[in-house]
Amino acid sequence: MKQALAATALLCIAQLSSAAATEPAVPQSVIYVIGDGMGMEYITAYRHFADDPTTDELEDTLFDRYFVGTSATHPHEHGLVTDSAAGATALSAGIKTYNGAIAVDVDKQPVETLLERAKKLGYSTGMVSTSQINHATPASFAAHVDSRQKYDDIADQYLDNRIDGKPWVDVLIGGGEQYFKRDNRDLVAGFTALGYHYADDFASLDSIEKAPALALLAPKGLPFAIDQPPANRLAVMTAKALALLPKNKPFFLLVEASEIDWCGHANDIACAMAEMRDAEETLKVVGNYVAGHRDTVMVMTADHSTGGLSMGANGEYEWRASVVRGVTASANELARQLKDAGSDWQQTWLELTGIALTSEQHNTIARQVKASRRASTETEKNAAKTELRATLLSAIDRASVTGWTTSGHTGGDVPVFAAGVNAEQFAGHQDNTAIAQKLFTRLHPAQ
């Protein structure tokens, strides 16, 4: 009897497998979100930063709800610490390459990316980024150069590389206008000649009603979320991209929360947490979209972590999220406003941070504010600003008990989040190349 049941079960499985093999594959829309520099420690710190201090419970964030696994980040080289270009190429093409490489292999040969495969299969495509749209991460999905520093070449490729006479990316939203409107070439004019609707600020972005579209909302990267509204600018741009992409065929959309990394490089904890909040708002937009649309998968991860952030420092077993919540400007903006305030700098400091200074900190900042105001040459101004910024960040870190180990990247594993069709495929630990390889299997010819 048992043998008969087993035989029947095997027959059913075989029949189901055969039926599945003969059914046409359904093309899936893919939303790929990359939190640049967003290591595990950022997820933990943000959980406490976003916590409601009026309750005893430590509330989950959206990151917690969508968390499914982790990813290794090492590049092809033996150094084990990746940059954004090699990390993004692993996530876009499923291969390991050298630091600085934009969608090329170790021999500097172009490799096919997810966005390119999707476009060949008839998908609509889009890229959204808070950095310049031709920065390392988005570039690794839509360009091929041997060095991430070739910003003009990358921007040129966005217009010049075409399929069926049209650029590979239907919707481009981010910063970087200075690379697209240059003395030697006006790429914006080239895009608009091909029918792209153009926006150079959020007001005009709102007026664009259909793709193709190009929006360059800052000369380079967008202002930090903590410094200039809208604080949820990535969420706004992502919602716009989703609205613009046609609904009659599948799409591939890359979204990059770029400036988590930039704040990490600066060792600026308040700046980083504001970027994390925008990333969570973006995850909310994407999660709601996926919940309402069948045949869509969302994967979010990071290319690496940045800064060696630690909750707790100098032997203190504490991290004061309340202090971080009270800081309302990046270190760059703090330094600018304190300089402008002159002798009234302490009142400005208290208004923007709420942090009481020691007498030593007070005297140091007073001296540095004076030096900033007296600086005459660009060299002197930059040196004075750098020195003042470092002191202000040190005061914030000391008050919040925040630690940092580097101004660069670190080599630890990063989180993976997923939702939608067969999201469990991304569960557990995997190499970053495996995420791309799995997503390639989701792409099928559009009907």
What is the Cα–Cα distance from 287 to 126, expressed in whole angstroms?
Answer: 17
DSSP three-state, residue 81: coil
pLDDT tens across 257-305, in order? Answer: 999 999 999 999 999 999 999 999 999 999 999 999 989 999 999 999 9
pLDDT tens across 220-261, in order? Answer: 999 999 999 999 999 999 999 999 999 889 999 999 999 999
Is the CB of residue 42 less than 8 Å from the CB of residue 272?
yes
DSSP three-state, residue 424: helix
pLDDT tens across 385-433, in order? Answer: 999 999 999 999 999 999 999 999 999 999 999 999 999 999 999 999 9
Is the CB of residue 172 less than 8 Å from the CB of residue 215?
yes
Does pLDDT of 323 surpass 70? yes
Tell me the DSSP string of 243-302: HHS-SSS-EEEEEEETHHHHHHHTT-HHHHHHHHHHHHHHHHHHHHHHHHSTTEEEEEE-
Whole-number percent of the chain with pLDDT over 70: 94
Does pLDDT of 131 surpass 50? yes
Bridge partners of 32, per DSSP, are: 254, 299
Nearest residue to 290 (alpha-carbon basis) of 327, 253, 256, 345? 253
> Residue 348 has which token pair?
């400005």
pLDDT tens across 139-187, in order? Answer: 999 999 999 999 999 999 999 999 999 999 999 999 999 999 999 999 9
pLDDT score at 24: 54
pLDDT tens across 72-85, in order? Answer: 999 998 889 999 99
DSSP three-state, residue 330: coil
Does pLDDT of 3 surpass 60? no
Does pLDDT of 8 surpass 80? no
The predicted model gives 1-26 an average pLDDT of 44
Domains and CATH numbers, the chain: 29-308+407-440 (3.40.720.10), 311-403 (1.10.60.40)
Which residues are marked as active site?
A: 84
pLDDT tens across 324-349, in order? Answer: 999 999 999 999 999 999 999 999 99
Residue with tokens 């041997």, as numbered in its chain? 146
CA distances (Å), origin 117, targets 50, 108, 168: 38, 19, 10
pLDDT score at 5: 38
DSSP three-state, residue 67: strand
pTM of this structure:
0.93
Q: Return mean pLDDT, the chain.
A: 94
Q: Within 10 A of 105 (CB to CB), how many other CB atoms are there? A: 16
- Amino acid at position 440, single letter: F
pLDDT tens across 38-62, in order? Answer: 999 999 999 999 999 999 999 999 9
> Residue 220 has which token pair?
């380079």
